[in-house]
Amino acid sequence: MNSKKYEIDMTEGSLLKSLIKYAVPLILSGVLQLFYNAADVIVVGRFAGRESLAAVGSTSSITNLIVNLFLGLSIGVTVLISQEYGAKDYGSVHRAVHTAVALSIIGGTAAGITGFFASRQLLALMGTPADVINKSTLYMKIIFIGAPANMVYNFGSAVLRSFGDTRRPLYFSVIAGCINVFLNIIFVTQFHMDVAGVALATIIAQFISAALIIKCLTYSTEFYKLTIRKIKIYKKELFKILRVGVPAGLQSAVFSISNVLIQSSVNLFGSTVMAGNAAAQNIEGFIYTAMTAVHHASTTSTAQNYGAGDLKRVKRGVMTSVCLVTVLGMIVGGSVYLFSHTLVGIYSPNEEVIMAGMARNKIIANTYFLCGIMEVLMGALRGLGYSLLPMTVSLLGACGFRILWIFTVFAAHKTTTTLYMSYPISWFLTLSIHLICLIIVMRKKKSKNLNNKNLLS
């Protein structure tokens, strides 16, 4: 299999063109992955009722809490391989690929076991209503059975993204997404399996996408070819992955904790608001997919050019990414706001549910570009090899602020508007600090490069 044609070398040529070429397939791939959950939510909302919709929607924050802790390691994979690819160190790339696959299997198994056995207890801690908790528990248990496949696919995609290959993960998502939607409809409308049916459809699709990504890597003729018998942990590469990936994973987990607290606060308003929030949150996932695609493009661009020793191109890449994510966020977020009633109505015909969903979209969708800028700046810091710094800033600026907001402002004014306002304010606060940190880091890198040149001369 000729894999060279899928690669994007961001160390040369037009940065804007490379970033768009990288991001567009990633956006489409992310959208199709979102259809996994969207199909779940739409099918149960239309054919199984409000309680089932609330049950499926209320599990995402807990699922993300457990999965993201391990999935954050894939960011370390992208940064390491991108840097070594930029530096043309193909031996390290080969070892990193096999370490990444080994980590995905270990992490996926650990996440699956943890989630399967802790589902009901975590849902109870969130104050999940009695009319929802049984279905939520069943849905979560089945979803966590697919955690190893989910992890293998995402780590494999991270490997391909390191070389700028975002097209093949898109193709695999198309296949898995179509299967997922088809099985959703069959299991719920024909076999009346309710939430169990949509969960089963999702994990079948996840195992198929994992199999496709493994086949892609094993059949590759390039230097990152995966050999099954060589899958193991290489200590040097593991350390480099963990240095970036562990803080990223912890950050994602703590972000999920703040989202769990927000979901717990939403639960106070009952199943109708829960259902509307679930629908709106699912719609916003499509905006976030566009934002995070540019974030990944910026991270890869930064890492490749830093590995190649070109700091001027690193700076231009970050500035281009910020402009791109701002324009994209305003267009997509504004569109969601304008068509909010119609979009939420796809998930549920209930007018009260629709109004509850619109209340969330009105505040969050319009300001999502702030999240995009925050993600790009954070990704740039990681691409430069810094992970503890953006983790600390994000935990204090976003997660810490939201938690403080819930126990102070929201506690005094218990409305959904007050609750949802915590998102844009925390994004603006965090991106401002990330920008200051990035300016300082770039100056240090530039000064270090000048000193090295002076020593050589």
Nearest-angstrom CA–CA distance, 257 and 51: 24
- Is residue 457 scored above 50 in pLDDT? no
- Is residue 75 scored above 50 in pLDDT? yes
- Is residue 391 scored above 90 in pLDDT? no
- Is residue 144 scored above 90 in pLDDT? yes
pLDDT tens digits for range 350-372 = 888 899 999 999 999 999 999 99
Supply the pLDDT for residue 281: 85
Helices H / strands E in the chain, number of each: 20, 0
The more confident residue out of 396 and 29 is: 396
Nearest-angstrom CA–CA distance, 51 and 405: 29
Taking a C-beta distance cutoff of 8 angstroms, is the pair 66, 287 a contact? no
pLDDT tens digits for range 169-182 = 889 988 988 898 88
- Is residue 430 scored above 50 in pLDDT? yes
Supply the pLDDT for residue 455: 45
- Is residue 2 scored above 60 in pLDDT? no
Supply the pLDDT for residue 258: 75
Confidence bin at 257 (pLDDT 50/70/90): confident
Tokens of 405: 């907001």
Nearest-angstrom CA–CA distance, 42 and 58: 14
- Is residue 309 scored above 70 in pLDDT? yes
Nearest-angstrom CA–CA distance, 68 and 275: 23
Task: Find the radius of gyration of the CA atoms of the chain.
Answer: 21
Supply the pLDDT for residue 399: 81
Supply the pLDDT for residue 456: 43
- Is residue 445 scored above 60 in pLDDT? yes
Q: Determine which of 22-26, 93-97, 115-119 has the lowest per-residue pLDDT on average.
A: 22-26
pLDDT tens digits for range 310-352 = 899 999 999 999 999 999 999 999 999 999 999 988 888 888 8
- Is residue 454 scored above 60 in pLDDT? no
- Is residue 254 scored above 90 in pLDDT? no
Supply the pLDDT for residue 45: 72
Q: Which amino acid is it at 275?
A: A
Q: How many CA atoms lie within 13 A of 294 on its CB side?
A: 30
Helix axes 340-347, 271-307, angle to 10 degrees: 110
Nearest-angstrom CA–CA distance, 54 and 42: 11
Q: Transcribe 73-115 into DSSP letters.
A: HHHHHHHHHHHHHHTT-HHHHHHHHHHHHHHHHHHHHHHHHHH
Nearest-angstrom CA–CA distance, 126 and 64: 14
Nearest-angstrom CA–CA distance, 98 and 117: 29
Supply the pLDDT for residue 450: 57
The more confident residue out of 25 and 66 is: 25
Supply the pLDDT for residue 223: 79
pLDDT tens digits for range 270-280 = 888 888 888 88
- Is residue 238 scored above 60 in pLDDT? yes
Supply the pLDDT for residue 418: 93
Residue that is written with structure tokens 């740039």 in the block: 380
Positions of E strands within 338-411: none
Domains of the chain: which residue ranges?
A: 13-448
Total residues found in the chain within this entry: 457
User: What average pLDDT does the segment 179-200 reach?
Assistant: 87
- Is residue 449 scored above 70 in pLDDT? no
